[in-house]
C-alpha cells in the first residue's frame, strides 16, 4: 500500500507537470499569434516544456498509483525547481518564487519522510531472500 505522503507528493508533482503542459500550450498560442522573441523560440521552448511536463506528470501518476519509478523523476524535477525558485526570486518576483519553492520543498519533504523512505526501500515480496526459486524480476 502506498503511504499518504507519497500519494500527496504524487498529486503535487502531477499538478506541476500539468502546469508545464499548460505553459507549453500558451507558448504555442503566443508564437502562432505573432509574438516572437529574439532570444528564444516559442515553439522550441514549448517542446521542452511538453517533454519535461509530460515526464513530471507521469511521475506524479506513478507515485499516486504506487509505482516506485516516479520517485526519482519527482525528486530530480523538484531539485531543479528549487533553482528556478531562486532565479525567480532574484528576478524580483517574490510571490512566484515562494509558491514554486514551497511546492518543491513539500514534494521533497514528503518523498523523504520516514513513511516515504520506508515505502521506497521495502523489498518486493517475490524477490526476497526467503524465496528459494530463481530471481524472475
- Is the distance from CB of 53 to CB of 23 less than 8 angstroms? yes
Rounded to an integer, the average pLDDT of 85-109 is 96
Mean pLDDT, residues 96-117 taken together: 97
pLDDT, one tens digit per residue, over 46-78 is 999 999 999 999 999 999 999 999 999 999 999
**More confidently predicted of 122 and 8:** 8
- Please tell me the least confidently modeled range out of 19-33, 68-82, 119-133: 119-133
Q: What is the pLDDT of residue 128?
A: 44
Q: Using CA atoms, how far apart are residues 10 and 64, in angstroms rounded to an integer? A: 5
- pLDDT-derived band of residue 123, with 50, 70 and 90 as boundaries? low
DSSP labels, 49-82: HHHHHHHHHHHHHHHHTT-THHHHHHHHHHHHHH
Helix, strand, coil proportions of the chain in percent (round to 5)?
Answer: 75, 0, 25
Rounded Cα–Cα distance for residues 42 and 58 (Å): 24
Please give the Cα distance from 23 to 21 (Å, whole number).
5
The torsion angles phi and psi of 2, rounded to 5 degrees, stand at -80, 130
The pLDDT confidence band at residue 129, using thresholds 50, 70 and 90, is: very low
Amino acid at each position: 500500500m502506498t503511504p499518504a505522503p507519497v500519494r500527496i507528493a504524487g498529486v503535487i508533482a502531477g499538478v506541476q507537470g500539468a502546469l508545464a503542459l499548460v505553459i507549453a500550450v500558451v507558448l504555442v498560442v503566443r508564437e502562432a499569434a505573432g509574438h516572437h522573441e529574439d532570444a528564444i523560440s516559442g515553439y522550441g521552448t514549448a517542446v521542452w516544456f511538453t517533454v519535461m511536463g509530460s515526464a513530471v506528470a507521469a511521475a506524479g501518476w506513478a507515485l499516486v498509483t504506487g509505482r516506485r519509478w516516479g520517485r526519482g523523476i519527482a525528486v530530480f524535477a523538484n531539485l531543479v525547481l528549487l533553482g528556478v525558485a531562486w532565479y525567480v526570486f532574484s528576478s524580483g518576483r517574490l510571490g512566484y518564487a515562494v509558491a514554486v519553492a514551497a511546492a518543491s520543498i513539500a514534494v521533497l519533504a514528503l518523498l523523504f519522510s520516514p513513511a516515504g523512505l520506508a515505502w521506497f526501500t521495502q523489498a518486493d515480496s517475490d524477490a526476497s531472500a526467503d524465496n528459494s526459486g530463481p530471481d524472475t524480476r
